[in-house]
């Protein structure tokens, strides 16, 4: 009876990378008929002892991605003593990085998983910004990390999207004199709400250009008198809420975002790193 061929995939993280590499190599030998034993989140030497004890009893290989130096050294030394084939899948490339780029690795497990988590949080934040853009659903006000308020064309949407890519869940609400603002604006902490204002002449210029791009004639929307009424109304709402206010005139979205986050941090609002 043929002795089964086993590869123990050992990692101080999930071990997905190591498993994919083992499968890629195995596919070159008789269609990849090899048994893979997955040992993830190795945290101490006792975890390695269990693997080594099993490996020496069978015809097997240990393929590992261990970035913690003590664990790697222990595995290498014990494998040599026991006559077990142990292959380091990560360290040769890390050493090449260090030598070629003159940098030291962090030697921290699960960094790749942290990057993945950041990616999914960013996606969730972007989806949130789209769902709660322009006051579409006032329920987002309570759930948001940041709530932006202001009249039309004060960069609420692009700012929401920019902050979403930094993993902040942002809702934005337009302020229009004829529409009563949602009560939720007055129920949330004033520190997570930010008002956006702009000079009348700049807003007049932006709105005229907007209508031009849409192929429309100048309307009440872009008239200076109407703009003055809207801005006065918006500032009254912002003062009633007591939220910080940023003048976005001639500011890039990135500049406004940096100013906004610094302002909220100064007010004691805690944000994720």
Distance CA(141)–CA(14), nearest Å, equals: 36
98 labelled binding-site residue: no
Contact 170, 271 (CB under 8 A): no
Distance CA(154)–CA(260), nearest Å, equals: 14
155 labelled binding-site residue: yes
CA distances from residue 104 to 4, 72, 98, 113 in whole angstroms, order as listed: 40, 17, 6, 20
154 labelled binding-site residue: yes
151 labelled binding-site residue: yes
In 216-261, beta strands by DSSP E: 245-247
Residue 117: how many other CB atoms lie within 10 Å: 12
Per 3-state DSSP, the chain is made up of helix, strand and coil in percentages (nearest 5) of 55, 15, 30
189 labelled binding-site residue: no
Contact 99, 3 (CB under 8 A): no
Binding site residue list: 150-157
Q: What are the binding residues for ADP?
A: 150-157
């Amino acid at each position: 009876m043929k002795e089964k061929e086993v590869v123990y995939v050992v990692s101080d993280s999930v071990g997905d990378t190591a498993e994919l590499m083992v499968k890629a190599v195995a596919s070159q030998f008789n269609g990849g008929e090899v048994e893979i034993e997955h040992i993830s989140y190795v945290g101490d030497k006792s975890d390695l002892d269990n693997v080594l004890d099993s490996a020496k009893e069978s015809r097997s290989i240990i393929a590992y991605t261990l970035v913690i130096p003590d664990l790697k050294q222990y595995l290498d030394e014990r494998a040599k003593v026991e006559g077990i084939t142990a292959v380091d899948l990560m360290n040769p490339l890390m050493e090449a990085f260090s030598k070629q780029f003159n940098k030291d690795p962090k030697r921290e497990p699960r960094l790749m998983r942290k990057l993945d988590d950041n990616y999914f949080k960013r996606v969730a934040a972007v989806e949130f910004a789209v769902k709660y853009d322009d006051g579409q659903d006032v329920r987002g006000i309570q759930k948001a990390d940041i709530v932006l308020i202001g009249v039309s064309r004060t960069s609420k949407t692009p700012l929401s999207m920019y902050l979403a890519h930094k993993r902040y869940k942002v809702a934005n609400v337009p302020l229009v004199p004829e529409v009563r603002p949602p009560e939720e604006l007055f129920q949330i902490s004033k520190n997570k709400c930010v008002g956006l204002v702009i000079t009348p002449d700049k807003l007049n210029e932006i709105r005229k250009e907007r209508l031009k791009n849409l192929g429309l004639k100048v309307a009440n929307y872009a008239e200076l008198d109407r703009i003055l009424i809207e801005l006065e109304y918006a500032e009254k709402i912002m003062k009633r809420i007591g939220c910080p206010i940023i003048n976005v005139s001639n500011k890039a979205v990135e500049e406004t975002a940096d100013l906004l986050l610094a302002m909220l941090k100064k007010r004691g609002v805690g944000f994720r790193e």
